[in-house]
Each structure stands twice: as structure tokens, then as C-alpha cells.
Structure 1
Amino acid sequence: MTRALIVIDVQESFRARPLWEAVSDPKIADKVNRLVRLSRERGDLVVWVLHHEPGSGDVFDPALGQVRLMAELERADGEPLIHKTSHNAFTTTNLQQLLTEHGIRELTVCGIRTEQCVETTTRVAGDLGYRVTFVTDATATDPLAHPDAPADRSVADLLADPRTLPAAEVIRRTEYALAGRFATIATIDRLEAAAAPQA
């Protein structure tokens, strides 16, 4: 085993936010399940990551009960579950130590949000020397507000603002930024095809 799948922040916290109605892929858990099945079939390590902000009083505060895997996901016995408080999955966790102990040199990453925690984890992993595959269609994100937009406006106002960056554009830009520098960009279909027995 030299590969690991890192599933980042596919948690109920996001579904508890009003912005979830604008998410790029409300069925993200189904896509992640496909990757998890593929990884298990290949004998790869599967690592689950949850974001939490203790004491924040919002959906990422573990005291409020939303910091848990989305209900559709099933973590198998023995699969590590780590909690992070930074955008990337390395800085505030023992992830690198865990990967080193398992002899992992290649990572596949997926999760929420495409350009935030998943991309940041990918960049750090690349800098640490891992070969990273970024599975774009197993990530999800939201439209991004213009930096000058008020923080407290409604989802409808966010979507109506012509300065808002649509989620599809956020994903496209993330692919451009990572490809050939920090990761190989892949799709679930491509990975499943590559793993299928040759006739």
C-alpha cells in the first residue's frame, strides 16, 4: 500500500448552511462513495478528515452536532478519522505522520470546498513531496462573493450580484492552478477505467 485517498470535509456542517442551496454538486457524497469503493478495491488507505472550530458557535462547532460525515458516507472499521482546524489537512493534524507510518507516497484528494480545503491540502501535499491526484468531479464548492460584497447578505443577493464568481468557474480556475504544478487532474470515470481489468 503506497496510496491513500484523503476525503476532506464531506460533512453535515455544509448542509446546515443556507449557502448549500447554491453548492456545485449537492450529490457530492455519492461521488465520494465511488472513489472510496475504488480505493478500497485497490487496497489503498482511506483517510477521513473533518473540519471543526470548537467554541465558534457555528456549524463547524462540534458542540452543535454538525461536525460529522454526511449520512450517505460509510467509514469502514480501521479507517482513520482526523479533525483539523486549519484549511489544509496537514498543519493542525498528525496526517503526515500517519501517511509516513503507512509508507504512503501517492495521494488522491476529494471533498469540500474545491478551492479552499481541498486545494490547500493538495498544494501542501505537493510541497511535501507526495504525488497527488486531484479528482475534480469529487469536489464541491459554492459561488464566491466579490471581496467588496457585504458578508451578511442573502444567498439570493449573492447569486444576483454580477461580480459573484460562479462555482463552475471556481472549479475551472482551481484545475488550471493545480495542473502540472501541484497535482494531476482526474475524473472518477478516468480512475475507474484505469483500475478496470484489461480484456
Structure 2
Amino acid sequence: MTTPLPALIVIDVQRAFDEWETAGKRRNNPDAVARIADLLQAFRTRGAPIFHIRHEGTKPNSSFLPSRPGYAVKDEAREQPGETVIVKRVNSAFIGTDLEERLRAGNIGTVVICGATTNHCVETTTRMAGNLGFDARLVRDATWTFERIGPDGDKHSAEEIHAMTLSNLNGEFARIVTAGEVIASFAAK
């Protein structure tokens, strides 16, 4: 009996984030999208399942409204024919979607998670994956976030936020890995 391959979950790699950067928001992990492209290639080569998650904004000024250019997926992460695309309207890819049902129907126990942003949709999806009993692997160099101002006016760098999110998830909700480790695990099988 063969062990099912892990599934790659690619979260919100959409052009709205390019708009944020153009507007002056500072991010970390400038090579994250290249690492996502590497993961996509590895999963495609191996014939492993891929789930593309898109965020659809619901507020009138959202960069993620389907009628706006920011809704479009970045070219490097565009799905290929036959790959699943799931649209969500909240932070978690499991809420209001059939992602869990699709994973269970495919007998998939391990999910590899990447995308944007580390402390929002990636974190929420990763927490839920762990809580639902999936073996979640969060790819640290294939996700990114932006700097933020805290409730007391403190400025938090994107690097600090990214590191804290990884620390919060590590061990309890997910195993933190690199794209290279995930790709090497395919080569070892």
C-alpha cells in the first residue's frame, strides 16, 4: 500500500500584494514567490495534489475584489489545467470552502502550506489544518508578510512578525520547513 503524497496549499499569491508594496508597505522574504514556484514545479513533477487558494474581498475598497486587478494571481503561481482552485472570503482556507472535504476524499494527511501573508491567511489556515488533524508543514521561505503598527503605536517589522508567527505555530500546529527540505523529501522517495 502506497502512502498518499502530501498536498501543496498555495494561499493568496495575488497581485493585490504588489499594489501594497507599490503603495510603500514593506515586506520580508523577497524570494518567497520564487520558492513557491519551485514548490509548484516539484509537486507537479511528482504528480502530487495542488490546491490554489484565492482570497475574494467582500469590502467595497478591498484590493481583492474580483473586479480589481489585485484579484489576479501572480504569474509564477498560476494554476495549470486540472489543478484545484478554491475561493475563500475569510482568513482560513477551511471556512466556507470544501477544502477539508477534498483533502479527506483524497486520503491526504499531510499538507504543505505556502503563500501570503504569514500572519493572516497562512497562519489561520495552518492553525486550522493542525486542529483538524492534518500533518501541517509551513514553508518558512515560501511565505511573507508586511510590517505593521501595533495597538500601542509600536512599529513591528515584517521580519519580526514573520518570525513570531513561525514561533507560535512551530510544534503545536505545524512543522516549520524550508522549500529545499520539502523538495529534497520528494527526491528521497
Q: TM-score, normalized by length of structure 2?
A: 0.90
Which residue is equivalent to 1:52?
Answer: 56
Tell me which moved more, 52-61 or 5-14: 52-61
Unaligned segments of structure 1, at least 5 residues? 150-162
Which amino acid in structure 2 is aligned with residue 6 of structure 1?
I
Which residue is equivalent to 1:190?
Answer: 181
Superposed structure 1 runs of 4+ greater than 6 Å apart: none
Secondary structure of the corresponding residue to residue 181 of structure 2: helix
Which residue is equivalent to 1:178?
Answer: 169
How many pairs align? 185
Larger radius of gyration: 1
Deviation track 1:53-81 (CA, whole Å, cap 9, x = no partner) reads: 14523211112232121122231111011
Alpha-carbon shift at residue 195 of structure 1 (Å): 2.6
| Identical counterparts, % of pairs | 32
Unaligned segments of structure 2, at least 5 residues? none
Which residue is equivalent to 1:167?
Answer: 158
RMSD: 1.8
Q: TM-score, normalized by length of structure 1?
A: 0.86
Q: 1:1-199, aligned counterparts within 5 Å?
A: 1-17=4-20, 18=22, 21-54=25-58, 56-149=60-153, 163-197=154-188
Which amino acid in structure 2 is aligned with residue 183 of structure 1?
A
**Matches of 2:69 and 2:157 in 1, distance apart?**
30
